[in-house]
Amino acid sequence: MLRKIALKVNFPRFFLYLCVFFVRLSSSLLRASSHSGIKNRTNRLLIYCFIIKKCSFTCTCVFFVVPLQRQLCACMNEIIEYILRFLLYGNEAAAQQVGYTADESQWKDYRVVIVPNGHLGREIVMPELDRCAVERYAIDGSSAQAPGDETMTQWVIRTDIVYNTFFFISRAEELINTQRDEHGRFLAKYSILGKENRLMIPTVDEYSRMLMKLLDLPLPTPSFSKIYLTHDVDSIANYRHLRGAIGGIVRGQWRKVLASQKDIHNDPAFTFSWLIAQDKKVDGAECIYFVKDTDGKGYDYPQYDLGGKDFEVAAQLIENSGAKMGWHGSYYGGRLKVKGERLKAGLHRSHYLRCSIDRMQELADMGVKEDFTMMFPDHVGFRLQTTRAVRWINPKTMTLTNLVLHPLTVMDCTLSNANYMNLSEDEAYFECQRLFEKIQQNGGEVVILWHNSNPAGNAWHKTLYEQIISFLQ
């Protein structure tokens, strides 16, 4: 509520008037009490209490609310400035040519003006996605009609693309839409993006391209700015722990169990050598293995010992390949309790792709630098509506954090799981190609999630990953 008031009222002037009003009112009451012969101590005491109360309120507003309002305004300005720079691919000079104001007297100072819809920092509403209204004006502010007129130097964007960008990169939608699946996750089918069939369209990047065209700036060169080949290590091996071995024997897979017990490299989930060989084919790719450090309960099962022999074999392969290890956060959340030095890279991905506004703020408070969770579990596409990494804005507190969100492009089980997209191998590869082409067009980054253990359960996970690697080479 305070934020709503702070953004609607000119606080310094308002409280100046308020102070003058209470001073005059207090003087009038004191004069009235003396001239009217009020001698009753109780009545005079009530008048004094009234004066003290109002003066205290005024002082509180002057010394507390005004500074708070200034702080809120500073946070809002920081967010707006960041969004404008982001839309213009970090071009600071170009961002200075873009105004975000409804005050027409200021429009002459900018080449492009974005008209606010009045919702940023006040309330969260669904954005307008069906249109992006742009008007061309002459330098004197009059409406321009002749397309070849050199005086037409100014553009006015009536759609608030700053608010829309904030809406997507902050994930503000998840504050007003309370639908969740059995794992507490916000799915694509609940989102406005899924309902309007816009999952495969990076709307924020389209805003960027429009702005750059209006400012006569060159569009980004079609390329991948970065390729991240990432792997969630949910399990080191299938048959090296008691429960897994017993389950394998019960299912008649005792030969696989015995082979795994003899040598971990024989276990079907121990695919690290194959993954490393594939990843090395992509020059310049950054490879990350997200490793669990949990209690192994419930959905975090199975637990593997980060100090055990099996993990050490995998860790040596990973480290010798030049890949990094990040933290695969518990299904249940909780504090960062990573053991040893290996996982202190500040990299994180939540188990089951579970994330929330509160969880992301928790990660930011813990000092996590980069998160790779941001994708809808049930459908590939652009959850952040951009192909580029962004600094996360907390929509609850309206603060720009240092936590960088990387847009996860595709996850293996999203493509194949019967409860998700349920695609064939050919269909899955086609969807991946569509995503890669959009990313390449906008100079964005590719983030692949392929589990080391999934090829054991789905044969084409292995061949599809090989196709993806060939495409990215």
| Cis amide leading into 268 (omega within 30) | no
For 233, phi then psi, to 5°, come to: -95, 80
Q: Which residue has the tokens 């996860």?
A: 408
Output the CA torsion sign for 115, 120, 125, 130: positive
CB environment 20-36: b (16+ within 10 A), e (fewer): eebeeebeebeeebeee
Neighbours of 405 (CB within 10 A): 26
For the chain, the straight-line distance linking the first and the last C-alpha, in angstroms and rounded, comes to: 52
Topology at the third CATH level for domain 226-472: TIM Barrel (3.20.20)
The CA-atom distances, in angstroms, between 359 and each of 181, 202, 329 are: 17, 24, 10
* Contacts for 393 with CB less than 8 Å, ≥ 6 apart: 79, 82, 166, 169, 170, 399, 400, 401
Neighbours of 82 (CB within 10 A): 18
pLDDT the model gives residue 6? 36
Residue at 37: amino acid letter: G
Neighbours of 360 (CB within 10 A): 23
pLDDT the model gives residue 347? 94
At 210, list the tokens: 């429009």
Domain boundaries, the chain: 2-87, 89-165, 226-472
Q: What's the residue count for the chain?
A: 473
Annotate the chain with three-state secondary structure: CHHHHHHHCCHHHHHHHHHHHHHHHHHHHHHHHHHCCCCCHHHHHHHHHHHHHHHHHHHHHHHHHHHHHHHHHHHHHHHHHHHHHHHCCCCHHHHCCEEECCCHHHHHHCCEEECCCCCCCCCCCCCCCCCCCEEEECCCCCECCCCCCCCCCEEEECCCHHHHHHHHHCCCHHHHCCCCCCCCCCCHHHCHHHHCCCCCCCHHHHHHHHHHHHCCCCCCCCCCCEEEEEEEECCCCCCCCHHHHHHHHHCCCHHHHHHHHHCHHHCCCCCHHHHHHHHCCCCCCEEEEEEECCCCCHHHCCCCCCCCHHHHHHHHHHHHCCCEEEEEECCCCCCCCCCCCCCCCCEEEEHHHCCCHHHHHHHHHHCCCEECCCCCCCCCCCCCCCCCCEEEEECCCCEEEEEEECCCCEEHHHHHCCCCCCCCHHHHHHHHHHHHHHHHHCCCEEEEECCCCHHHCCHHHHHHHHHHHHHHC
Do 269 and 236 meet the contact criterion of CB atoms below 8 Å apart? yes
The CA-atom distances, in angstroms, between 72 and each of 67, 125, 364, 417 are: 9, 20, 20, 45
Neighbours of 5 (CB within 10 A): 13
Q: What whole-number distance in Å separates Cα of residue 82 and Cα of residue 162?
A: 10
pLDDT the model gives residue 241? 83
Q: pTM higher than 0.75 for the full model? A: yes
The CA-atom distances, in angstroms, between 5 and each of 8, 14, 73, 465 are: 5, 12, 12, 53
Do 170 and 395 meet the contact criterion of CB atoms below 8 Å apart? yes
Residue at 259: amino acid letter: A
Stretches in the chain below the pLDDT threshold 50: 1-17, 20, 29-30, 33, 35-39, 45, 48-49, 51, 60-62, 64-66, 68-69, 145-146, 150
